[in-house]
Structure formats: structure tokens, C-alpha cells
Amino acid sequence: MSALKRSTQVPYKRWKDTNISFVTSQTDDKSITTVHEEQPGKNEPSNEGVCTILEQDLGESKNRSSGTSETFTVEEAVEAIGFGKFQWKLSMLTGVAWMADAMEMMLLSIATPQLRCEWRLSSWKVAFITTMVFIGMMISSSLWGNISDKYGRKVCLILCMLWSLHYGFLSAFAPTYSWILILRGLVGFGLGGAPQSVTLYTEFLPVKSRGKSVILLGVFWGLGAVFEVLLAMVVMPTLGWKWLLAFSTLPLVVFAASCCWLPESARFDVLRGREDKALDTLKCIAAANGSSVPTGRLIANTQTDRGRIRDLFIPEYRKTTLLVWFIWFCNAFSYYGLVLLTTELFQAGSACSASDKSNMEPLCSLECSYLTFQDYVDLLWTTFAEFPGILLTVWMIDRIGRRKSMAVCFLMFSVSILPLYACTQRTLLIFFIFIARACITGGWQVAYVYTPEVFPTATRAIGIGTGSGMARVGALITPFFAQVLLKSSVYLTLSVYLICCLLGTVASWFLPMETTGRSLQESTQSTMEQKNIERPHGSETTESSSNTCP
């Protein structure tokens, strides 16, 4: 079969003094566009870095040249379908996973005071129960991210939720301190994959509603936290902590019963070369929303090497990755620290007094004592802070952008911590903890929006997974400040959280990329091309190109 070739030179400024040749080979019924890098001083294009960009029918190419679009991307399809019934159903199901995560985290601050008394545990042993959960999360977060990028978001999310359900229920039967450590660590291992629900949800959202939708997903986290406190008010005084652990798995049971409906991400299917399956998914979404997919053929950004941590450190992403990791660390360290501080400071009660008249520093006497009904009521009030924080963030996120929203939340948290340096009355203590928790909740929700937006589909799950892993490092060490160091010095403990969030403010401000209104990127290479190529008018072929190079 004979073939005609034509070559077009297009300046490409990814590297200095390097040009790209777009070479289109035409056969009887198809055209294939390839890319060649030209190094300075060489007359012929280099064979290094050659990759196939797009294979299309000549009939479609002719239609495009005549002004009729016959191809579309997943991004274009998601925008055309819009937000509707499908997204509402998906938000409910992923929200249940979010509720389960919140309840498993919240019960740590509720059950540990009773475990301290029943098993006569020292402060560091109590803190280590919480730490074991976060050790499991830290170990598994990147692993779940890798599974999600390689084998699919749906597979990852179902596996991690079923794992958490199994070991969460078994932990209710833990007979000794050693068993509770092991089983809660395994629960944490499963919960390390819970953030992948945000990855899946984000990839079905159009640009206009993405920020607010992901933030409002945090409502389920708040509902989970509130439900856990209400559950504890009923269960703990009568049945004890074992029944609380058993009942806390209820959202996981609901998820397990509903997960058969969960769809795979069309963006992921396209990236691994399954355009037909992605198109079927898009058609189902369109039917549910009462809309339609664009006409023509779905084109793909195929990338075989997915979920590689080293791709987070290519020059385009290195600074962003490091700053995002630090922001996740600060969010988790401060959020869980505040949750644990709340019950510890409530237990201190009137015992919080000046131990040294020279410096008048309050000393909290944290002996064995069960949480009272009033403690639960006050804990419930501070938990309600999740909702104002979410509403504040919804208002800010599209007005001032993702980066500034995170910086504002960190700064407001730091300001709210300052009054706690005084041995305040309980009412004022609740008020300032309420404000601080609202701020840190809002900031963390913005991080959940920013992270999947800034990384391409090929590394999105590993990006949010490693970010979550860094968050678990912060959550892992925070009990030793909120529960152990607090016993020695309230001032020093609060100073650690204050400085952490001030540094988080700086890190948010210096993020190199704002993602507000930005389309989700697909492959790593396509992101680099979009950033660096200056395309001339009339090069429609290159604009619709997708990259199969690793």
C-alpha cells in the first residue's frame, strides 16, 4: 500500500534550541501523526522521543477541515453532559465513604478516655492507639493511590472500604490492648484509600461546578462526625466502647451494599486505551442527566506508565508536589490535634489552673475520668463547626481562588488559637475551638479540591494518595502533642500548632499554579505540552492530539 508523507515544522519551546517536527503519514484511508525532536546542529529529526499522537480516519479529517467536528475528548463530553442526577447519586455514594472515614476518626477521641480508665493506660499508650490508625493510613495511602492509577478508581475504593469494614467490625471484639492496636492499625490501612473517593468524584465533574461540589462533599464528613458523637451519647453510657466500634461501621455496610452501582472513571478508561468502555459510561451518564454526549469519535490520551511517584517530581511538578505534601501535613496535624485537644481540655475542667505563680502557665490535670453527658454536648457543638467551615470555603473558593483560600483558612486558625493561651472559661473555650475547627476544616477541603485538579489523570490518584500519606504522618505524631505534651505544657503545645499553621499559610501562598477554572489534564506528557507548546492557528491536528509516550 503506497503512502504519501508531508512534514510540518512547529516551534516547540519545551527545551532551548529544540524544535518539534509533526509528520503526518497518509495511506488509503487513514492518517497518522508522529512527533520528532530536532536537536541543534542536526539535519535529520532524532528518533528519540518519537510517539504516536493521533490516528484518525481521512474521512473525519476532511470533515474537520470543512468545519465539522467529528471527535471529542472526555473533558468535552463531561462539560457537554453537565451536572445532574448522576452526579447527585455519585456524591451520595462517595459521601457515605466519607462519613465512614469521619466516624472512624472521631471515635478515637471518644473511646480512648474510656480505654484509659478500663485498662489503666498511661498517656503515651492512649496516644499510641490513635497513632496506630494513622500508621496504617500512612503506609497504605500511596499504595491505594498506585492501585487506583493502575487498576482503576472503582476497584481501589471498593477494596479499601470492604477492608475497613472487616477489620473495623473485628476491632469491636478486641480483648486486650495489643489486639486493639493491631486491629485499629488494619482499619487505618483500609481507610488510607478513602481519599480516592474524591479522585473518582472529581473526574465526573464539569469545571464550573467542580470546586463547590468537592467542598460540599465535605458535608458528609461533618455529618459523619456529628453522627458519631450522637451515637456515643447513646451507646457509651450503657453499652460501652465495644458496641460503639461495632455501630461505627454502619456507613461501610451501606457502601458495601451499594457499591455495585459505582462506575469506573471514564478518564481512567480512556487513559488505559479502553475508549469503548469510557464511551458507554459517558452515554449512561448522559441518559441519567437527560442530556447527550457530543457527536463523533472519542479520542484518547493513552499512557501506559501510570501511578509512578517519580512523575510527581518532574520539573513541572516538583515544587507543587513538595508544597502540596506540606499543606496536607499541616492540615491533618492541626485538625486531628484540635479534635484530640478538645476532649483533653474538656476533661481538664476546673483543674486547669496556674501551677507556677512566676509564669502563670495553666497546667491541665489529665487523670482517668469518663466523658460526661455535658462533655458530649460540648463536643457536639464543636463538631458542628465543620458546617460553617464548609460554607465559608464554598463562598471563597471560586472568588479568590484555591491558593488564597487555603492561606486564609490557615491564618484564621492561627488567630483562633491565640485566645486558648489563657485559661479561659469553658464557654469561651468552646467558642474559639469552634472557630478554629471551622477554619481548618475549610482549608483541608480546599486541599481536596486543589490536589486532584493540579495533577493529571495519569498521576492524580498517586498525587492525592501521597498527599494523604503525608497527612497521616501529621496525624500520626499529633497525639503526642495533643495528649502527651499537653500534660506538661499547654503553652508549648499550642505554640506548636500555631507555628505549623503559619507555615501552612506561607506554603499555600507560594504554590506555583492556580487551578480555578482549569480543565483536568490527562497524561503527564499532554500537561507538559499544554504548558510549553505555542500552537499556531490552523493546527487542529495537534490540538486534538493525544500522547501515547510514557
Contact indicator for 193, 157 with CB cutoff of 8 Å: yes
DSSP 322: H
Give me the pLDDT at residue 303, please: 60
Tell me the pLDDT tens digit for each residue of 407-416: 999 999 999 8
Q: How many angstroms separate the most distant Cα atoms in the chain?
A: 95
Contact indicator for 251, 194 with CB cutoff of 8 Å: no
Contact indicator for 259, 151 with CB cutoff of 8 Å: no
- In 288-314, which positions are buried (b, 16+ CB within 10 angstroms) versus exposed (e)? bbeeebbeeebbbbbbeebbbeebbee
Q: What's the start-to-end Cα distance of the chain, in Å?
A: 30
- List the domain boundaries for the chain: 1-14+29-39+47-56, 71-302, 307-350+369-515
Give me the pLDDT at residue 326, please: 95
Q: Collapsing DSSP states into helix, strand and coil, what is residue 329?
A: helix
Report the relative pairing of strands 71-72 and 297-298 from DSSP bridges: parallel
Computed over every residue of the chain, the mean pLDDT equals 75
Positions of E strands within 442-501: none
Q: Please name which of 154, 152, 161 lies closest in space to residue 96, comparing C-alpha atoms.
A: 161
The residue behind cell 493511590 is 145
Contact indicator for 406, 355 with CB cutoff of 8 Å: no
Q: Do domains 71-302 and 307-350+369-515 have the same CATH topology?
A: yes
Decide yes or no: CATH 1.20.1250.20 for domain 307-350+369-515: yes
Q: Please name which of 350, 344, 337 lies closest in space to residue 369, comparing C-alpha atoms.
A: 344
Give me the pLDDT at residue 330, please: 93
In angstroms, rounded to a whole number, what is the distance separating the alpha carbons of residues 486 and 174? 28
Tell me the pLDDT tens digit for each residue of 395-408: 888 888 889 999 99
The residue behind cell 495519569 is 458
Give me the pLDDT at residue 301, please: 66
DSSP 172: G
Give me the pLDDT at residue 42, please: 41
In angstroms, rounded to a whole number, what is the distance separating the alpha carbons of residues 540 and 24? 13
177 burial type by CB count under 10 A (0-12 exposed, 13-18 middle, 19+ buried)? middle
Q: Which secondary structure element, helix H or strand E, spans residue 168, and what is its range?
A: helix 153-170
Give me the pLDDT at residue 494, please: 87
- In 211-250, which positions are buried (b, 16+ CB within 10 angstroms) versus exposed (e)? bbbbbbbbbbbbbbbbbbbebbbebbeeeebbebbbbbbb
Backbone angles phi, psi at 547, to 5 degrees: -110, 130
Contact indicator for 29, 57 with CB cutoff of 8 Å: yes
Backbone torsion region of residue 149, taken as left when φ is above 0, otherwise alpha when ψ lies between -120 and 50, otherwise beta: alpha
Domain 71-302 architecture: Up-down Bundle (1.20)
In angstroms, rounded to a whole number, what is the distance separating the alpha carbons of residues 396 and 392? 6
User: CA of 404: how far to CAs of 132, 241, 332, 434, 500, in Å?
Assistant: 34, 41, 19, 22, 17
> Looking at the DSSP assignment, which residues form a beta bridge with residue 469?
none
Give me the pLDDT at residue 300, please: 65
The residue behind cell 483562633 is 416
Q: What is the DSSP string of 163-193?
A: HHHHHHHHGGG--SHHHHHHHHHHHHHHHTT
Question: What are the helix (H) ranges across 292-425?
Answer: 318-348, 373-383, 386-397, 402-417
Radius of gyration of the chain (CA): 26
Q: Please name which of 477, 458, 429, 448 lies closest in space to residue 522, comparing C-alpha atoms.
A: 458
CB neighbours of 419 closer than 8 A, spacing ≥ 6? 428, 432
In order along its 550 residues, the chain shows pLDDT tens digits of 434 333 333 343 333 444 444 444 444 444 444 444 444 444 444 333 333 333 334 344 444 444 445 787 778 888 888 888 888 988 888 888 888 888 887 787 788 778 877 888 777 787 788 778 888 888 888 888 888 888 888 888 899 999 999 998 998 888 888 898 899 889 989 888 888 888 888 888 888 888 888 888 888 888 888 888 888 888 888 888 889 888 888 889 988 888 888 888 888 888 777 888 888 888 888 888 888 888 877 776 666 666 577 888 888 888 999 999 999 999 989 988 887 787 677 655 533 443 343 344 444 444 556 677 777 787 787 778 778 888 888 888 888 888 999 999 999 999 988 888 776 677 787 888 888 888 898 888 899 889 888 888 778 888 888 888 888 888 878 878 887 787 777 888 889 999 999 999 999 999 988 888 777 776 555 444 444 433 333 333 333 333 333 3
**pTM for this one?**
0.68
Give me the pLDDT at residue 419, please: 84
Q: Residue 188 is placed in which grid cell? A: 487505618
